[in-house]
Structure 1
């Protein structure tokens, strides 16, 4: 059985029409190849871990493969690491969304003068989800420069997938405290905490319990790879069950050091039941994005 057949059997058994994956990476080829080179070099933000890229393929092959998996909605998580880069990435994202209609039009941002202007432009161009990468960008998400942009996104109800946890390696501004300051100012902001907030899982569950629009994505969490260095605390599983309507499937495709199906099996073996799996793997994101 091919991996695609195994994945389709997984969601077919649950009675789903497919999967919705809120954390996949598509970006300009030269940028993506630099990302892959960083993983290959065991850069410090990878925690020094061996990180082979399982789906190191050309863009067209990656799009075809994720469709073959039965992923009916996915994202183009792109992110800047310096000022002056976000607007250019957003321009590329408009073109990618136009030629890839099953990709949720994704944009990004950075704390810099003019961020409010290009975030508004991205929203007007049809952006449906944003990516913020606190670890790579090395910025404080509660920066005053970002405040107007967060306000725009909260008002628009557009979700933001934010890498703000301290895994696989901490950054200057990672952790729950800066995010809590953002939410105190913008409690209706639809933040999706990437990687379940790894490694501060329980702190980010606290935020989800305090703020009704906070969600978490499963990217890499619970997998054998991450359980070795950042195990999810089993005492928190009941909280995960209680928040079942706000957990979203994410995988990091194609930049994962294991097969896609392993993320699905890792969720299944939590033992939270088929209703929980249906919600996480499809229904929650389908509702959030109107799919």
Structure 2
């Protein structure tokens, strides 16, 4: 594959012989919630920690058109709750978004609160394909007793959960691999997708993906110059393990909340020189196997 393909997402996918890209980690939110999120990035809020000039703005229609213009044929709308009573509001909005945008996975979230297991079960029954948790922003422990029944529901259903549990960009008492390792010891069949490859605790989260059959990782923001400057560069000595996990690594980008062009994520993956078969698996095949095609 020519290195020039990294400059253009459509050419990147075409050069690999793919019908497009499958991005499991993108965000579409209710307008007022998105405005609050953008304010956090614009002001380098406490959980951001540094200037973060957003590359992409606009309303949902514009952002969907932008993704499609990049050749992204499947993506998500990963909303996440940060307080009690918020999850079902987000879930209603996300379900409506997926109904309007058929190339988007039907996405949902939950929070440690009474009734979480019941509404998660209802959402799965209604067709939710992926859930999102952000323990850093939500400020909760995945081992919270209020979530025990919910994890059981998700384990039985096999519905994937994209979880931001690594300590980047700013660690909190709730982040890191320890709580997730304890969670998986209790619920070993959970289908977790570790966001950002677990940055910066890469080795520990790689070990979880190596140990548990249903644990995968997404590439979100890793291998980009911006992420490296955060002090979260991926250690070169771990690349062989990432190569060997070819079937368990998924393309993620964090679009639209990224401070660089979308193509930089793809160029970063290409620079790893792990081979075209690895890139095809990461950028399309693994997502289709986990969630289904367009």
Using the size of structure 1 for normalisation, the TM-score is 0.97
After TM superposition, the structure 1 = structure 2 runs for residues 116-135 of structure 1, keeping only pairs within 5 Å, are 116-135=117-136
Runs of 4+ in 1 over 4 A off after TM superposition: none
The 3 A distance-change label for structure 1 pair 4 and 264 is closer
Which residue does 2:172 correspond to in 1? Answer: 171
User: How far apart, CA to CA, are the structure 2 residues paired with 1:118 and 1:53?
Assistant: 33
> Any idea what the Cα deviations from partners look like across 1:242-264, whole Å, max 9, x if unmatched?
00110000000000000000000
State the Cα RMSD in Å: 1.2
Match of 2:193 in 1: 192
Aligned to 2:249: 247
SS in 1 for 2:163: strand
Task: Report the equivalent of 2:143.
Answer: 142
What does residue 110 of structure 2 align with? Answer: 109
Q: Displacement, 1:5?
A: 8.6
Structure 2 counterpart of 1:270? 272
Number of paired residues? 288
* Structure 1: stretches of 5+ with no match in the other structure: none
| In structure 2, C-alpha distance between the alignment counterparts of 1:5 and 1:179, rounded to whole Å | 36
The 8 Å contact of residues 73 and 102 in structure 1, kept in 2 or not, is answered as yes
Contact 2:6 2:270 (8 Å CA) reproduced? no
Do residues 231 (structure 1) and 238 (structure 2) align?
Answer: no
TM-superposed CA distance for 1:172, in Å, is 1.7
**Hey, what's the Cα distance between the residues in 1 that align with 2:77 and 2:221?**
17
Contact 1:89 1:107 in 2 (8 A): yes
1:235, 1:255 → 2: CA distance?
A: 29
> Does structure 1 retain, via aligned residues, the 8 Å contact 2:177–2:201?
yes
Equivalent position of 2:289 in the other structure: 287
Give, in whole Å, the separation in 2 of the partners of 1:119 and 1:113: 12
Deviation at 1:4, TM superposition (A): 11
Tell me the TM-score normalised to structure 2 length. Answer: 0.96
Whether 1:16 and 2:54 are equivalent positions in the alignment is: no
Q: Is 2:47 the counterpart of 1:52?
A: no
Instruction: Tell me which residue corresponds to 1:34.
Output: 36
Task: Specify the SS of the correspondent of 1:103.
Answer: coil
Q: Does the Cα contact within 8 Å between 1:4 and 1:69 map onto a contact in 2?
A: no
Question: What displacement does 1:174 show?
Answer: 0.3
- For the 8 Å contact 2:7–2:267, the answer to whether it is kept is no
Q: Once the two structures are superposed, what CA deviation does each residue of 1:167-201 show, in whole Å capped at 9, x if it has no partner?
A: 00002210001001111111110000000001101
CA offset digits 1:94-138 (Å, max 9, x no partner): 111110110000000100111011101111111000001100001
What is the CA distance between 1:231 and its match in structure 2? Answer: 0.9
| Partner residue in 2 for 1:181 | 182
CA distance in 2, matches of 1:196, 1:122: 27
CA distance in 2, matches of 1:82, 1:171: 16
